Amino acid sequence: MPVESVRVAASVVDIAVPSRAGGLPGVSMAGFRGYADGLVDFQMVPYPALTIFIDFGDALLIDGVSGDRKRGSIVVGLAPCSFRGCGRDVDLLQIRLSPVIAHAVFSVGSELGGAAVALADLWGPEARRIQQQLHAAGSWDDRFAIAQSAIARRRAAGRAVDPEVAFVWGQMMRSRGRVRVERLADEVGWSRKRLWFRFRDQIGLTPKHAARLVRFDHAAHRLAAGHSAALVAADCGFADQSHMHRDAMAFAGMTPTAVAEAPWLAVDDIAWPTTKQALPLEG
């Protein structure tokens, strides 16, 4: 099992990634364990996936708008989000699910939106059983296997998104958000109105908003890789830097400069090696 240590804010965290081949498409996970000298508190940066946090330490997820605090097993919907993570003792399994997969796994789409809800509210008593199994597991690989099995069962029992919706989401990801929704509607043979309704119902965002999120995510990783805001804005298809600034504030509540330095993105190259968005820029 690959494990690498990295400094995140005020702590040194060991990051584990699955070593076994054959993971589920659209599902990626990583384990985090460490200890902080003081309280670690930092803003989440939205990602084009639903996120499951299964915490075995003292982590809190705090809603920056309502101030609500959540512990334990939590599911965070798609952006925009205003959540902060904080804690001292780190022992956390984080799972990212493509919204195409999440629709079947959770049987929700627009109902979840950008909210954070307890996993038990979506999975009932099964959530507690899974968390107990994960807590008792002897290794990170065992934890990854338990989580993957649970997700596979839920996915098989759930209802898949429409093939047209899955196609549109795939095109958005491949184009990094730079795609015209009207053209995609024509490609799948749907009216723009039908695509808008079905996509939002099953994915949780409108097609236009989803494309903006995917584009923002690509820009955020470019910024975190150290590229200039001007170059990132041009490469990612923003009209100018002000346009990128507005999207950064809308999705993350931070300026592009703050996004570039966000601890939340500092671990992506290690924790999510198969889902990296930050590819080299030309020039």
Looking at residue 274, its pLDDT comes to: 52
* Poorest-pLDDT segment among 59-63, 181-185, 201-205: 59-63
Range of the domain at 177: 163-271
Do 143 and 204 share a domain, yes or no? Answer: no
Of 157, 190, 222, the position where a domain reaches its end is 157
Do 53 and 94 share a domain, yes or no? Answer: yes
Do 68 and 142 share a domain, yes or no? Answer: yes
User: Looking at residue 208, which CATH number applies to its domain?
Assistant: 1.10.10.60
- What is the 3 state secondary structure string of the chain? CCEEEEEECCEEEEEECCCCCCCCCCEEEEEEEEEEEEEEEEECCCCCCEEEEEECCCCEEEECCCCCEECCEEEECCCCCCEEEEEEEEEEEEEEECHHHHHHHHCCCCCCCCCEEEHHHHHCHHHHHHHHHHHHCCCHHHHHHHHHHHHHHHHHHCCCCCHHHHHHHHHHHHCCCCCCHHHHHHHHCCCHHHHHHHHHHHHCCCHHHHHHHHHHHHHHHHHHCCCCHHHHHHHCCCCCHHHHHHHHHHHHCCCHHHHHCCHHHHCHHHHCCCCCCCCCCCC
pLDDT greater at residue 19 or residue 65? 19
User: Looking at residue 115, which CATH number applies to its domain?
Assistant: 2.60.120
Tally of structural domains, the chain: 2
Do 99 and 224 share a domain, yes or no? Answer: no
Looking at residue 166, its pLDDT comes to: 96
Per-residue pLDDT reduced to its tens digit, 74-98 = 999 887 677 888 887 888 999 999 9
In a domain, 276, yes or no: no
Mean per-residue pLDDT of the chain:
87
In a domain, 280, yes or no: no
Do 8 and 42 share a domain, yes or no? Answer: yes
In a domain, 283, yes or no: no
In a domain, 281, yes or no: no
In a domain, 279, yes or no: no
Per-residue pLDDT reduced to its tens digit, 111-126 = 677 788 899 999 999 9
Do 152 and 47 share a domain, yes or no? Answer: yes
In a domain, 123, yes or no: yes
Do 201 and 120 share a domain, yes or no? Answer: no
Do 132 and 176 share a domain, yes or no? Answer: no
Per-residue pLDDT reduced to its tens digit, 229-273 = 999 999 999 999 999 999 999 999 899 999 999 888 888 888 887
Do 14 and 142 share a domain, yes or no? Answer: yes
